[in-house]
């Protein structure tokens, strides 16, 4: 049951992030180019699993994207809102697909399942 809720939550985050992005009039090209940028955090696994898990998890929690979204709403700048919405959509897509936050024991050990 909990796993299904997390997948549903991810679907809703992906849909809302995507909808709000395009509702604000931002373009497809930036969305497509930036959607998978958070996955570059996997480069930390080249060092070791601890660094990899830390970087991956930092890039795959909603904290930083929500700070950007808030900044984009408070200040007269489009780029924080745009990046925050794309980043939130990415995290939602990952959760919807079953990819969770990583444990230090290995890339395939996540808070959702063992891949």
Which structure tokens are listed for 43?
A: 């480069």
- The answer to the question of residue 113 being in a domain is no
Beta strands 106-110 and 102-103 are antiparallel
- 8 Å CB contact between 1 and 82: no
Q: Find, among 110, 86, 95, the residue nearest to 11 by Cα.
A: 95
Give residue 86's domain range: 2-108
- The answer to the question of residue 12 being in a domain is yes
Instruction: Using a cut of 0.75, tell me whether the model's pTM lies above it.
Output: yes
Number of domains within the chain: 1
pLDDT of residue 1: 67
- The answer to the question of residue 30 being in a domain is yes
DSSP string, 52-77: HHHHHHHHTSSHHHHHHHHHHHHSS-
- The answer to the question of residue 94 being in a domain is yes
Tens of pLDDT along the chain (115 residues) come to: 678 898 999 999 999 999 999 999 999 999 999 999 999 999 999 999 999 999 999 999 999 999 999 999 999 899 999 999 999 999 999 999 988 788 878 766 666 665 5
- The answer to the question of residue 115 being in a domain is no
């Amino acid at each position: 049951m909990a796993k299904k809720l997390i997948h549903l939550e991810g679907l809703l985050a992906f849909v809302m992030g995507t909808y709000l992005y395009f509702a604000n009039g931002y373009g497809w090209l930036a969305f497509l180019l930036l959607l998978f940028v958070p996955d570059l955090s996997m480069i930390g696994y080249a060092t070791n699993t601890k660094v990899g898990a830390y970087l991956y998890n930092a890039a795959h929690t909603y904290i930083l994207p929500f700070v950007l979204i808030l900044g984009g709403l408070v200040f007269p700048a489009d780029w924080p809102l745009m990046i925050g919405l794309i980043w939130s959509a990415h995290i939602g897509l990952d959760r919807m697909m079953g990819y969770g936050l990583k444990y230090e024991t290995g890339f395939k050990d996540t808070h959702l399942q063992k891949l």
